[in-house]
Structure 1
């Protein structure tokens, strides 16, 4: 029996975390003993971790990465706190010089690089160590393993990082797993030297679990709303494009589409900005932020249309989940969109812009025949893909 370590940040509500829960639920525990290292034991999904894995004790230095700098100094983590301040200063400076929309990825990269001298190594040696969420410095630098695997969930061609610093880290891994072919392609545009070690393993989905969870009772707010309901499940972040969704709904209202309500399940750093945008656009009664929900599936179930207005994605877990719940789905034409669904068959791809989102919704609102076609094809499709894990076992 091989000893496997899987490492990730925490179990806050999110698509990556849901895909990790599904993978752990369906792992082969007859042949593998699995330890799970979470940098911080926090999040609403903690109670969903299968008892078949061994959850390692939290290490205080690693729990710092999801805490504020103020908290770090209060906890006397002075060296890591100082490294965080320097990384923020340098990332903000680069962001201004290069006019980067989202310097957060570069900041996170610097944060780990600067903090490495102050982070302890794991004492246990493993046959295989898997880093499930970027940046992968912990497994790359602080874990002893005969084989190392890193996972990529995002479109790396759209995010700003220090490529040489990244390559140094990536080369510590025997394999890099992308969640879609398009995700792999976009990654190799940036890191072409790594082609020989990148493979594709799609996010594990469990249709039975999703359908069962969708039957949970929820508040009457969305159920009693008899308007045409759009639903989005996403973090309130730049990547997910919720600000563009607000602007698109404003366009539709100005065109006379008064019978549309847009519900967003999720939370994140841009919430205040998005709420201000909703108020400024006079959309408080029709663009509704529902906040964090442990179980988003009953809300998706209520949708007349599921929309993912993202600026970029690796492969959005929520889109597949909406298809499993047989909803008409619309996504923006982000780089990896065509690997997400079959355009015009089991989903609809619209232009990645505010106007594109508005036009796509207008078309699907008016065209019930197209919506029914998308639903029918979702009903006929099999989204069960536990067999994807065989690719991982083969690599192990």
Structure 2
């Protein structure tokens, strides 16, 4: 008899955890598992890559309600005589404006405001997995019936005391907590040492054949630029260190380098980044491309991949650049040495504009260094699809024959 699995994640937008989940779903043995997927935001780009065997559950009622404009929401509320959703929405908006909140605080505020109007999942699963922190973790803990529950931790998860106390209630209800790297595990235990015995490591699964195939299809750069192409892939958010990237870009321009720096991603800092681009006179040099469902042709045709992150759970975009043999310059963050070997597969530098620009210029000017790094990238191990065996072990199954 097949085991029933539920995965829950905020969305399938183009980001690290989302790509990791899609890769995992494409490797599962569907002769052994029935799989449901619950999203809190629908219609994003990676949904088209979900295997047909996976049942993407219909949107939650509150998710549908929050997409209505205010007038439509009022009409719906009056027509149904159900004021709970409207009051939850108003309460969330008021609290967000009142509190200075990052993503972790927003998740708490959302759940405090809306949990009472979010319906329970009607099924009972063998295993329910929240594949991201925050709302998916709260939802699986409170709204899902399952024989076992597992919570993924795919960022460096430092919390203040208020967030720690709030989230501990939910993590108490999980049988296992899964970190995606050794450093993610260590950082999580700094906040929650009491979970040491149920914290395991499951590395994000990366499929090099999938990435290689995707790099050969779809569009890439369209501007016929013949200088050095620098690429960054990542959400336009504080975590990714775009302030450092912009200052680095300014320094490279001032030093007369013939380059363009492209960014694939979207996020809350887009307007601020566009303003900085204009103020720093980088319109021709720092180019926001938005989101592409298939970023791999861009990665394949970049000369240098640059990551200026403050923190990462692992760093999926760096993995993908390495798979396509693109030299990397990355700042030093908690998990960076889980995959980077300084001056072997790229350069690891301090998180400041001078260090990043110096690293980029080294790769531009030192042809021998760049060629040695590219040669090393061609020979280093690609991907880790064998990690599917570890996943099967986590959920209590041996790997199917042939994996």
Q: CA deviation at 1:275?
A: 1.0
Task: State the shift of 1:156 in Å.
Answer: 0.9
Give 2:151's aligned residue: 150
Q: Is the CA contact 2:125–2:146 (under 8 Å) kept in the aligned structure 1?
A: yes
Aligned to 2:247: 247
Count of residue correspondences: 385
Aligned to 2:357: 358
Equivalent-residue separation in structure 1 for 2:313 and 2:176 (angstroms): 17
Cross-structure match for 1:12: 13
Describe the shift of the 1:217–1:393 C-alpha distance in structure 2 as closer, same or farther (beyond 3 A). Answer: closer
Q: Which runs of 5+ in 2 are unaligned?
A: 78-84, 396-403
CA distance in 1: counterparts of 2:68 and 2:201, whole angstroms: 32
Structure 2 distance, partners of 1:80, 1:337, is: 40
- Quick check: 2:66–2:89 contact (8 Å CA) kept in 1? no
Could you say if the C-alpha distance between residues 278 and 8 of structure 1 is closer, same or farther in structure 2, counting changes exceeding 3 Å? Answer: same
Displacement of 1:75 after TM fit? Answer: 5.5
2: CA distance between counterparts of 1:231 and 1:205?
20
* 1:139-187 Cα shifts (integer Å, max 9, x gaps): 0100011100011111113788611111111111111111111111111
- 1:98 paired residue number: none
For structure 1, the 5+ residue unaligned runs are: 96-102
Aligned to 1:166: 167
Matches within 5 A, 1:56-67: 56-63=57-64
CA distance in 1, matches of 2:164, 2:76: 33
8 Å CA contact 2:89–2:113 kept in 1: the answer is no
Equivalents in 2 of 1:192, 1:257: separation in Å? 50
Task: Tell me, yes or no, if structure 1 residue 83 matches structure 2 residue 91.
Answer: yes
- Residues 61-117 of structure 1: per-residue CA shift (max 9 Å, x gap): 24567888888667643132023124314532xx6xxxxxxx332122221133212
Q: CA deviation at 1:40?
A: 2.9
Indicate conservation of the 8 Å contact 2:60/2:118, yes or no. Answer: no
Farther off after superposition, 240-249 or 132-141: 240-249
The alpha-carbon distance between structure 1 residues 74 and 259, as it changes in their structure 2 partners (threshold 3 A), is: farther
Please report the TM-score for the alignment, with normalisation by the length of structure 1: 0.91
SS of equivalent to 2:158: helix
* Structure-2 residue corresponding to 1:232: 232
Instruction: After TM superposition, list the pairs within 5 Å mapping 1:371-382 onto structure 2.
Output: 371-382=370-381
Counterpart residue number, 1:190 = 191
Query: What TM-score comes out, normalization by structure 2 length?
Result: 0.90
Q: Does the 8 A contact of 1:90 with 1:107 survive in 2?
A: no
SS at match of 1:45: helix
Residues 113 and 391 (structure 1), Cα distance of their counterparts in 2 relative to 1, 3 Å cut: farther
Q: Which residue of 2 aligns with 1:100?
A: none
CA deviation after TM superposition for structure 1 residue 368, in Å: 2.1
CA deviations 1:274-299 (Å, max 9, x no partner) are: 11111111111111111111111111
Is it true that 1:326 corresponds to 2:334 in the alignment?
Answer: no
Deviation at 1:308, TM superposition (A): 1.0
Question: Per-residue deviation at 1:383?
Answer: 2.2
- Alpha-carbon shift at residue 301 of structure 1 (Å): 1.0
Maintained 8 Å contact 1:153/1:178: yes
Q: 2:310 is matched with which residue?
A: 311
